[in-house]
Structure 1
Amino acid sequence: MNSYKGKFTLENLLFNANLQEFTHQISDIYGLSNQGTISHKEAYTQIQVLFEALKRSKQELRIGENP
């Protein structure tokens, strides 16, 4: 995990962890797709699901909203 460099709040730290997990999972999906283990369509579907979860996380943590 990379060190956190943004303004420290618990919400920002949690979102940073979620973002890093998202990028790790995307990397895994990309690798599986390139190896032919999963289809490109399945990879795209999985990435869409992960992106929606990340978006939900951002909304729930209220990232980017003015305090």
Structure 2
Amino acid sequence: MLTTSNFLYPQPRYYGDVNPENLVFNANLQEFAQRVSLISGLATNGKISIEQAFQNIETLWHQLEATKKQLGVGENPFQSDENR
């Protein structure tokens, strides 16, 4: 069933290694992309200043980096699930 939320914020399928850390990071990455899109649209239409848009996107980026670090995503890219 198509809801308003699914229509406005579609999430494509995840094709990477399936583990909880990657799935959580993927969801955070999707949210980051949606928010950057909204912020850039607001800046393009003159609703917020370019400086404010940059600050907002920079803050979102630091939050995404912190999440990646907390989850440990990408620390051992060549380690398989069998070796854990």
TM over 0.5: yes
- Bigger-Rg structure (1/2): 2
Once superposed, which parts of structure 1, at least 4 consecutive aligned residues long, lie more than 3 Å away?
none
Larger relative contact order (C-alpha < 8 A, sep ≥ 6)? 1
- Tell me which protein shows more helix as a share of its residues: 1
Per-residue displacement from partner, 1:27-66 (whole Å, max 9, x unpaired)? Answer: 0000000000000000000000000000000000000112
Unaligned runs of 5+ in 1: none
TM-score normalised per structure 2: 0.78
Aligned length: 67
Unaligned runs of 5+ in 2: 1-10, 77-83
TM-score normalised per structure 1: 0.97
| RMSD of aligned residue pairs (Cα, Å) | 0.8
